[in-house]
Amino acid sequence: MAADDRIIKTEYSEVMQKSFIDYAMSVIIARALPDVRDGLKPVQRRVLYDMHELGIRYDRPYRKSARIVGDTMGKYHPHGDSSIYDALVVMAQDFKKGQVLIDGHGNFGNIEGDGQAAMRYTEARLHKITQDAFLADLDKNVVDFGPNFDETEREPSVLPCKFPNLLVNGSEGIAVGMATSIPPHNLGEVIDAVKAYMLDESISTRELMRYIKGPDFPTGGIVTNQDELLQIYETGTGKIRVRGRVEKEKGKGGRTNVVITEIPYPMIGVNIGKFLSDVAALAETKKTTDIVDISNQSSKEGIRIVIELKKDADVDHFINMLYKKTRLEDTFGVNMLAISDGRPETMGLKQIIKANVDFQYEVNRRKYETLLQKEQDRREIQEGLIKACNVIDLIIEILRGSRDRAMAKACLVEGETDGIKFKSRESAVMAGYLRFTERQADAILDMRLYKLIGLEIEALVKEHEDTLANIYRYEDILERRSSMAQVIMNDLDAMKKEFAVRRKTVIENCEEAVFEEKKAEEIELYCLVNRFGYAKVIDTVTYDRNQETVHAENPFAFKCKSTGRICLFTNTGQLYTVKVSDIPLGKLRDKGIPLDNVSSYDSTKESLLLAASQSDLNLYRLLFVTKGAMAKIVDGGEFDVTKKTVAATKLADGDELVSVSIYREQKNIILQSKEGFFLRFPVEEIPEKKKAAVGVRAMKLSDTDSVEAVYYTRNTDDSAIPYKSRNLVLNQIKPAHRDTKGTKVRG
């Protein structure tokens, strides 16, 4: 075959589309989402099944986690040891799961976010509920088995879980284009709801919620939006608001301590540290002055975060502030997405329970069909042995007279007597009427002599009676749905009696926490910005005493209010706003803070042209002049913005601002170009434009020239600037009009 014949030409986009869809479905079905029937992801199912195969039961010694992980990876899950170990660890963490499935021994992490020890140090074994509810009936053909990844082993497609584990333990996972987030629930409540559904399949979600009050997080807490839960459980999506539990305790010296004893479920892990830092930040930023001390006294016994308050603190107001300003009140996003009939589906509470009940009927049908077949096989053999005991003398005669086993079996099954030596003709005739089945004949031939003892025969008869009773019972279960329902409910009752615990999470309707920040006292200050871009604010008394020094050392010094903002205009045409409260209040000789630290201004790439109080800009207009000699006047009210960064003006490509000035009493504007041209004309010739406009041309420039500096004067002003070797009096420059070339000034 030629090489060209093996090349398949196809559209690249079609290949990419098919490949991505295949990859997405693989992640969705085989990795990230749980099955609605057993509530497990593939990696979790494989870990539990592997532990079952290794015999690591709840009543046997622990085994190293590394052994479990390695065996699982080698046989069933070739996706890396870390994902397998992480799955094992989560199933052993009682602060993440409503019902732990693995009994861990060693450091399996903690609620505060400390990670688990390496797998070579920890040990594990199955939990009793896992053995009883997930793995007990795997030998009864209750679920389908399929080949593993290299077809050297067989693994179950699903575990025969006896309760809706998807609800009890919840699940979280991110697939391609979809994610699941299901909260954990109380085992006892879920079992009661399943039984209620089995008794009345037309039951509504509202009626099911008489049994399942809502989520039951292992961390406790308080669900505050009870009225919204019905909608969430009907649609399978929504948001659950969860608060931590807060208690008040008497502290030292008549103070009150706010003690957090339960945290919201989303706060598990590093978010506890984030909560502590957020509380500390409230004190540092002066949002509250009530905090004296914060301490995390949590231990194995539970969460205990103590916040010590001042003696005269408003405790309720402080607690509301914690709810509003920290993650002590958080949201759990619900998206009950699971694999149902081989495809991802968002399911409501009733749909999940229905899927699990249908699964229970299927599992029990297969279980009792298997048990019935075994009992029927047992009955066949028992009846053969009982019949054989009644004619034992004849059978012994057949066995003694036969040359081999085949001859004896042929006589027992088909009544063939040829070649067999009998003691009498009567025995030969009777042997010809024997018609045992193949199984019965094998059992008779394998029977030991002690079975002929009277007590053994009585035991055989009793065993046969028990077998008949079992057959009757199994046939009743398989033929009558009500009988099977009773079996399922009996199993549920046993699960509830042994493993159910009291609810930890309180479900109620709480009013939204109301917290109004105390308005900061508004005082007048002066903001100083030096030539290095450092800013500070000083009080008015300090300014009044040191006015000359202030203006000599700081290009920008202006009055502002403590509750206001300052505006920073740069040569790139950007406007940055900074809260005055973000700039430190200091003494005259204090260094201050770089403007880069409190805004998006970058002093390494931009030049500061103007710093002013935003409230002052509302009273005036601003004059803009660019390097390309474009000029305009803009109403200062256009810069009354709250965004931290906005465009102050529109610039042509390659242009930049040279000057931004507040228009107060200026009469004349003087533009100085790089090539030594000066143009003086009245400011009133510059039109007022919007900030988004480019402006008008103020000066004619050659292709190589550009505006270098801008000055303003009054009519009677005699101010001068040093230019080359002399002082140039600005008002002595020949007056002209806008958009002219100006006068060449020589040194």
What is the rounded distance in angstroms from the CA atom of residue 515 to the CA atom of residue 525? 29
What is the rounded distance in angstroms from the CA atom of residue 54 to the CA atom of residue 70? 12
What is the rounded distance in angstroms from the CA atom of residue 431 to the CA atom of residue 442? 17
Sheet with 743-744, side-by-side order of all strands? 707-713, 668-673, 677-682, 743-744
> Which contiguous run of DSSP H or E holds residue 449?
none
Q: What angle do helix axes 392-401 and 349-390 make, rounded to 10 degrees?
A: 80
CA contacts within 13 A on the Cβ side of 710:
25
What is the rounded distance in angstroms from the CA atom of residue 243 to the CA atom of residue 510? 10
Q: How far is CA 719 from CA 152, 554, 556, 671, 725, in A?
A: 96, 20, 20, 15, 17
Question: Which amino acid would we find at residue 271?
Answer: N
Is 482 within 8 Å of 411 (Cβ atoms)? no
Active site residue 121: yes
Residue 613's beta-bridge partner residues?
A: 566
Is 693 within 8 Å of 632 (Cβ atoms)? yes
| Tokens standing for residue 725 | 């070797």
Alpha helices (H) along 170-213: 187-199, 205-208
Q: How far is CA 20 from CA 26, 31, 79, 705, in A?
A: 10, 15, 19, 57
Extended beta strands in 492-602, E state: 506-507, 524-529, 534-539, 556-561, 565-570, 574-579, 593-594
What is the rounded distance in angstroms from the CA atom of residue 185 to the CA atom of residue 143? 26
Residue closest to 48 by CA, chosen among 120, 130, 118, 116? 130
Candidate list 12, 49, 85, 121, residue with the active-site label: 121
Is 644 within 8 Å of 577 (Cβ atoms)? yes
> Which contiguous run of DSSP H or E holds residue 149?
none
Q: What are phi and psi of 46, to 5 degrees?
A: -70, -35
380's CB contacts (< 8 A; 6+ apart) are: 437, 439, 440
What is the sign, positive or negative, of the torsion defined by CA atoms of 250, 252, 256, 258?
negative
In the DSSP assignment, the letter for residue 259 is E
What is the sign, positive or negative, of the torsion defined by CA atoms of 636, 637, 642, 646?
negative
Residue closest to 659 by CA, chosen among 714, 713, 731, 707? 707
Residue closest to 651 by CA, chosen among 622, 693, 687? 693
Is 328 within 8 Å of 275 (Cβ atoms)? yes
Residue closest to 423 by CA, chosen among 396, 389, 403? 396
Q: The tokens 């880069």 sit on which residue?
A: 596
Is 124 within 8 Å of 102 (Cβ atoms)? yes
Rounded CA Rg of the chain:
43
CA contacts within 13 A on the Cβ side of 227:
3
DSSP string, 664-733: SS--EEEEEETTSEEEEEEGGGSPB--TTS--EE-B---TT--EEEEEEE-TT---EEEETTEEEEGGGS
Q: Which residues are catalytic?
A: 121
